Amino acid sequence: MKRVCAGAIALCLVFGCNSPQGPIRIGLAGPLADAVGRPMRLAAEMAVAEINAGGGIEGRPLELSERDDAGDPDSAVQVAADLTRLGVVAVIGHVFSGTTLAAAPIYADAPAPVPVITPSSSAPEVAQAGNHVFRLCPTDLEHGAALATWIRSGLGLDRGAVLYLNNPYGRGIRQAFVTRLEAMGGVVIESDPYLGATPDVGPYLDRIAASGTAQFLVVAGNREDATVILTQARARGITLPVLGGDGLEGIEAAGSLAEGVYATAAYLPGLDTPENQRFVRAYRARYPEAGAPNQPAAASYDAVYLLRDVIRARGATRRDIREGLAVLGDELPPHQGVTGVLAFDGRGGLARMPVLISVIRNGDVALAKRP
Amino acid sequence: MNLLGSLRNRLIAGLGLLLLLFLALVAAGIGSLRAVNRAVSNELASLVSNSALVTDLVGAVADEVRAGEAYLATPSTVLALEFLRLGDSSHAYRRRFRQVAGLSADDQSALNRVESNQARMEVAYARAHAFRDLGHLDEARTEAAAARAPADSFVADVRSLTRRQQTRVSASIAAIGRRARQREVLVWLLLAAAIGLGSGTAWVTVRSIETPLYQLIEAARRFGEGDLRPLELGTMPAELATLARAMGSMGTRLRTVIESVIRESRGIGMSASDLSAMSEELAAGSQEITRAITAVTASAERQVVEVRGADQVIAAWRESAARDATTAERVVAEGEQANALAQRHRDELAVAGRGLAALRQAVQTAGTQTRELTRRADAVAELLDLARQLVSQSEVLALNAAVEAARAAGQGEGFSAIAAETRRLTDASREATARIATRTETLKEQIAALEATRQAIAAQALKVESTTQRSTVALAEIARATETMRENAMQVARSASESRGIAGRLAELRERLEADARENVAANESVTAGAAEQSAATGEIATAAAGLLEASERLAALVAEFKV
């Protein structure tokens, strides 16, 4: 009997099979407790609740197995190993490129590779993480390029400094931005790395202020460190326009510090598509205290529904899901989601995902430029 | 359906099983070698690749550190960009390292620490550079010193990673070795199994062929010894079963044949005896036939001779008939000629009669005309007298005219001419009258002669006419007689012709009789020859019957050796 049970467990680990009649278990991984990851968790739970309220998938309910990686690659590795052992059929996560890249090999090395849908890991290297990794956002290359184009074409500036979070995301935004800006005739007078959520970028800011030639300041990092940098900059009297990638999403929470900050975005709560308006209304109604959903939230919401469609079309095993996701937009029809029309190219990225430019005006996120 | 029911299938199955075992053995050996080779190659390639990656990563970070230190000594944009570029390169190497297959969670954590330490080191140098650019050298040195700790950790983590990789490779090599040994054992086991199964298969195959084959050999030996009793063979492969059935069938047929031979040899013996007796009787009959045929032949020959005698008689008769016919025909021809001659003479006599009558009429007419002619000759004589008178008067006239002319002299020339002409006319008339008188006399003479002739002719004609009439009557009688003779001759000719036809038919009959006689003779000769041959054949039959009897006795002796 023990052998039978051990065999069943082994089969379950190998094929990622939940009980054929039981719930379909999906992993959710990310910094679920912080300002970036919490909306993601809420939106995913809302999607699962909606689907289960409609009878689940072929009568089987969805079940989320949530694991918090705190945005840390080491934690992400542990989370990945944990979710793989748990036998989830797919994982929605991780949020950051560093955590996704750290966890991807763990998912890939499982006897049946776990398909991963990351809502917001935009580093270009994610495309090389394996054919089991899919993402629902533009890459850093697209964000960085869109930011440089906006600076040159929208703002008419050509000279500035870049402060970047020294991780894959920050480096990716910086490299893409510098490449496109220099291609458009702009000059980056300095590129300075920083660490953590509370960086000390004083020396850089002093040098920028001392040079006096910078027309803009790009912060290639996340919302928390951008807030700190803004504080330090304003403290030094630096009033240069501050711009950033999609990591600055939610920067409006910094109040007046964030006023006038431009940021690239794959999603804005104010998008006027019917799907987004319905999603935002439902989200606000379900979580009135949570504020507006962010891009990881919208993309995770889309990811849950995407998995539902693929499982219905192909089956509930890891292999079925991975193969179904690979042909989304080809053999399977594209998914009309909150973030747009979702279809994958041959490397797990979105075939088409526009990059928006947002600006904080009067404390609110406004659309500065449509693509 | 028994798939192994035939020798062919048993051999194919046995050889196929051996071949499969051989192929499995070879495949297992090759597969093991290839798997070991592939695993070793993969591990070596991974080791080489990882070593290269580690070397590149460490080298890039070392260069980055050197660039960072160089900037602190002599700040420049070039060095700043170089520092940035080397940092990007080292991150790229590390990312590639992360994609190495088979990294454990500890390896991933080590890589995360490597990245973190590299990031901390870069930030420390960047801050040091900023302080350096701002002229804060102490802070710059402090930041640069702060970079050494993460750099040391970086190196330690890289070494740790390298060691783990080496350990992993060693473990892999050991695992490969174990797998190789396991496969070697497997190959040996397969070889042993192949040998065992092959031997078993060969033994089973040979036994399955050998046993029924020996049974068949034994059965063939029995057949050779003449034991044709039914075979009792067990289950056999299809081909040998077919052979056994064929042998059984052959034995059955042989038994039947032998039994038949025995029966037939007995029958032949009896038949030979009967045949011998019959041949003797046949020989006696042949002799009698020969004698009868000889008599018939003699009779036929006599018949031929007699027929030939009859033939001579018939030939004489036919010649006589032919002569009669010829004579009759000649008589008929002569009769016809006589008849025709009589007819012709009768016609000529009639014509002569008619000619004589006409002659008599002509003679009478000639008398009349002679008399008329005489009368006319007299008239001519009167005319001659008149002419003589006329001539005398003419001469007077001419003399008068000449006198007148002489008197008239010159005017009388016309009278002279008339007188001349009248004289010439008188002369001519005188001459003519003389010639006429002459001729008239001649004529009278001829008329007298003619009359005499006419009278003689008339008398002769009367005689001839009388004769002619008698001849005509005689000729008519002759003609009737010759007609009768001709008819009689024709009757004789027809009779002769009929006699000749009868003789011809008799000759034909004789020829047929002769031909029949000859055929009889020939047939008799053939019958005689046949009788002779029959006699000879009868002798041969007798000899054969004797041989047959001996053969049947030998055959009976031979088949008596078979057990049926």
DSSP A210-268: HH---SEEEEES-HHHHHHHHHHHHHTT----EEE-GGGTTGGGGGGGGTT-EEEES--
Q: Which residues of B touch A125 (CB under 8 A)?
A: 95
Model pLDDT for residues B43-75, shown as the tens digit of each residue: 778 778 778 888 888 888 899 999 999 999 999
Q: What is the pLDDT of residues B313-363, one digit of tens each?
A: 767 767 776 776 677 677 667 667 766 776 776 676 677 667 667 766 766
- What is each CA distance from A121 to A103, A144, B271, B558, in whole angstroms? 12, 14, 121, 110
Q: Do A207 and B127 touch (CB under 8 A)?
A: no
What is the layout of strands, in order, in the sheet containing A262-265? A187-194, A159-165, A216-220, A242-244, A262-265, A356-361, A364-369
Taking residue B9's Cβ as centre, other Cβ atoms within 10 Å add up to 16
pLDDT band at A15 (very low <50, low <70, confident <90, very high): very low
Look at B68 and B23; give whichever has higher pLDDT. Answer: B68
| Tens-digit pLDDT profile for residues A106-150 | 999 899 999 999 999 988 889 888 999 999 999 999 999 999 999
Range B503-514 burial, b when 16+ CB lie within 10 A, else e: beebbeebeebb
Tokens 């440089």 identify what position? Answer: A148
Name the closest residue on chain B to residue A76, using Cα atoms: B109
Chain A residues lying within 8 Å of B138, measured CB to CB: none
Strands A90-92 and A24-30: parallel
> For residue A208, which residues of chain B lie inside 8 Å, CB to CB?
none
**pLDDT beyond 80 at B557:** no
Beta bridge partner(s), residue A26? A64, A90
Contact A79, A91 (CB under 8 A): no
Residues B174, B167 contacting (CB under 8 angstroms): no
Best residue in B77, B84, B93 for a mutation probing chain A (most A CBs within 10 Å): B84
The DSSP letter of residue A333 is P
Q: What's the CA gap between A353 and A337, in Å, rounded?
A: 12
Tell me: the pLDDT tens digits for A167-197? 888 999 999 999 999 999 999 999 999 998 7
Interface test with B, best of A69, A77, A164, A205 (most B CBs within 10 A): A77
pLDDT value of residue B414: 65
Confidence band of B412 (pLDDT split at 50, 70, 90): low
Q: Using a pLDDT cut of 70, give the percent of chain B over it.
A: 77
CB pairs under 8 A between A and B: 72
Which residue reads 């070596």 in tokens? B44
Instruction: State the Cα–Cα distance between residues A70 and B241, nearest whole angstrom.
Output: 84
The residue in chain A having the minimum alpha-carbon distance to the alpha carbon of residue B136 is A203
Top pLDDT among A109 and B430 is at A109
Q: What is the pLDDT of residues A338-357, one digit of tens each?
A: 999 999 988 888 887 889 99
- Which residues make beta-bridge pairs with A161? A190, A217
A193 contacts B105? CB cut-off 8 A: no
Report CB contact under 8 Å: A193, B119: yes
Q: Where are the domains of chain B?
A: 23-188, 255-559
Arithmetic mean of pLDDT, A321-330: 94
Check whether A11 has a pLDDT greater than 60: no
Q: Crossing angle, helix B105-134 and helix B7-73, to 10 degrees?
A: 20
pLDDT of B236 higher than 90 = no
Alpha-carbon distance of A32 to B228, in angstroms, equals: 102
Query: Out of A327-331, A365-369, B100-104, which region has the weakest mean confidence (pLDDT)?
Result: B100-104
Q: Which of B540, B559, B563, B541 is nearest to B265 (CA)?
A: B559
Name which residue leads in pLDDT, B406 or B106: B106
Sheet holding A116-118, edge to edge: A62-68, A24-30, A90-92, A116-118, A133-135
B120·A171 Cβ contact <8 A: no
Same fold, A2-138+271-342 and A140-265: yes
Between B384 and B199, the higher pLDDT residue: B199
- The alpha carbon torsion through A341, A342, A343, A347 (nearest 10 deg) reads 140
A338 in Cβ contact with A269 (< 8 Å) = no
Predicted-complex ipTM score:
0.80
Q: Picking from A71-85, A251-265, B362-376, B441-455, which range would have the lowest pLDDT averaged per residue? A: B362-376
Q: How confident is the model at residue B455 (pLDDT cuts 50, 70, 90)?
A: confident
Of the ranges A122-131, A167-176, B101-110, B524-533, which one carries the lowest mean pLDDT score? B524-533
Q: What is the pLDDT of residue A300?
A: 97
Query: Which residues in chain A belong to E strands, given as ranges?
Result: 24-30, 62-68, 90-92, 116-118, 133-135, 159-165, 187-194, 216-220, 242-244, 262-265, 335-336, 341-342, 356-361, 364-369
- The mean pLDDT of A287-291, rounded to a whole number, is 92
Does A196 touch chain B if contact means CB atoms closer than 8 Å?
A: no
Instruction: Report chain B's terminal Cα–Cα distance, integer Å.
Output: 36
CATH code for the structural domain at A2-138+271-342: 3.40.50.2300
* More confidently predicted of A1 and A213: A213
CA angle B351, B356, B359 (to 5 degrees): 125
Residue B371 has pLDDT above 80, yes or no: no
**Range B255-559: architecture per CATH:** Orthogonal Bundle (1.10)
Most confident of A275-279, B260-264, B543-547: A275-279
User: Distance (Å) from the C-alpha of residue A73 to the closest C-alpha of chain B?
Assistant: 6
Measured distance CA(A43)–CA(A293) in Å, rounded: 8
CA of B82 vs chain A CAs: smallest distance (Å): 12
Q: What is the C-alpha radius of gyration for chain A, rounded to an integer number of angstroms?
A: 21
Cβ separation of A73 and B103 shorter than 8 Å? no
Q: Single out the residue of A58, A106, A51 nearest to residue A83, CA to CA.
A: A106
- Residues 56-85 on A with a CB inside 8 Å of B are 73-74, 77-78, 81
A91 φ, ψ (degrees, to nearest 5) = -125, 135
Q: What is the pLDDT of residue A8?
A: 46
**Residue B490 near residue B266 (C-beta atoms within 8 A):** no
Contacts of B91 in chain A (CB under 8 A): 168, 171
CB A58 within 8 A of CB A121: no
Q: What is the pLDDT of residue B23?
A: 84
| More confident call, B245 vs A310 | A310
Cβ distance A166 to B112 less than 8 Å, yes or no, reads: no
Contact in structure between B539 and B283 (CB atoms under 8 Å): yes
pLDDT for B462 equals 77
Report yes or no: A343 and A328 within 8 Å, Cβ to Cβ: yes
Are A102 and B122 in contact (CB < 8 Å)? no
Query: What value does the mean pLDDT of chain B take?
Result: 77
The pLDDT assigned to B349 comes to: 64
Q: Which residues of B touch A (CB under 8 A)?
A: 80, 84, 87-88, 91, 95, 98-99, 102-103, 105, 108-109, 111-113, 115, 119-120, 122-123, 126-127, 130-131, 133-134, 136, 139
Please state the pTM of the whole predicted model: 0.56
Q: Which pLDDT score is estimated for A78?
A: 94
Q: Do A175 and B99 touch (CB under 8 A)?
A: no
Which residues does chain B have within 8 Å of residue A106's beta carbon, measured at their own beta carbons? 105, 108
Domain boundaries, chain A: 2-138+271-342, 140-265
Task: Find chain A residues with C-beta within 8 A of B131's C-beta.
Answer: 203
Q: Is the pLDDT of residue B226 over 60?
A: yes
B482-513 per-position pLDDT tens digit: 677 678 767 767 766 776 777 677 677 767 76
Total residues belonging to chain A:
371
| Helices and strands (H, E) in chain A, number of each type | 11, 14
Residues 6+ positions from A84 with CB-CB distance below 8 Å: A13, A106, A107, A110, A114
Rounded average pLDDT over B126-152: 93
pLDDT score of A13 more than 60: no
Q: A344, A134 in Cβ contact below 8 A? A: yes
pLDDT at position B411: 58
- List CB contacts of B3: < 8 A, sequence separation 6 or more: B9, B13
pLDDT score of A6? 47
Helix B105-134 × helix B137-224 angle, to 10°: 160
Q: Which of A129, A166, A171 sits opposite B123 (nearest CB)?
A: A166
Output the six-digit token pair for A229.
């940098």
**Residue predicted with more confidence, B409 or B544:** B544
Average pLDDT value for residue range A153-160: 95
Please state, in angstroms and rounded to a whole number, the distance separating the CA atoms of residues B101 and B136.
46
Inter-axis angle of helices A97-109 and B105-134, nearest 10: 160
Query: Which of the residue ranges A285-294, A328-337, B392-401 would you say has the lowest mean pLDDT?
Result: B392-401
Q: Taking a C-beta distance cutoff of 8 angstroms, is the pair B146, B80 a contact?
A: no
Q: Quick one: B67 exposed, middle or buried, by C-beta within 10 A (0-12, 13-18, 19+)?
A: buried
Task: Provide φ and ψ at B83, rounded to 5°.
Answer: -60, -40
- DSSP for B217-247 reads HHHHHHHHTTB-SPP------HHHHHHHHHH
The topology under which CATH files domain B23-188 is Four Helix Bundle (Hemerythrin (Met), subunit A) (1.20.120)
Of A74, A81, A193, the CB nearest to B123: A193
What is the domain class of A140-265 according to CATH?
A: alpha beta
* Interior angle at CA B216, CA B213 and CA B217, nearest 5: 85
Mean pLDDT of the residues in chain A? 91
Measured between alpha carbons, how far is A295 from A358 in angstroms, rounded to an integer?
A: 13
